[in-house]
Amino acid sequence: MTQALHESAMKASGNLDRPFQVGDRCRLSDLGRKRNSRRGVGLCEVISFGNSSQRIRVRFVGYLSVHTIHVSYLEREPDNSATAYSLE
């Protein structure tokens, strides 16, 4: 399912209440760090969403590939530190 079809399906079902938006800077939560210890600091950017409202596709700093993780593994990065790193 393409992203556009996925978005329209989410709008139709009324399930567009997501804690993150595409482009948001975030980091691993305490639970995320316990379950994903290889991710280091765990700073990442939201790239897209998975097939479920509970899945988020992110790219971690220092990694080229995109990873799909559960929304409970992430927390929003404070605004003042959002420009402290770059994903390039």
Q: Where are the domains of the chain?
A: 3-81
Architecture of the domain delimited by 3-81? Roll (2.30)
1 — pLDDT class (breaks 50, 70, 90):
very low
What mean pLDDT do residues 17-24 have?
82
**pLDDT bucket at 46, cuts 50 / 70 / 90:** very high
What are the φ/ψ torsions at residue 69 (nearest 5 degrees)? -135, 165
User: Which of 69, 73, 76, 61 lies closest to 34, judged by CA?
Assistant: 73
Confirm whether pTM is higher than 0.75: no
CA distance readout (Å), 31 to 9, 13, 86: 30, 29, 24
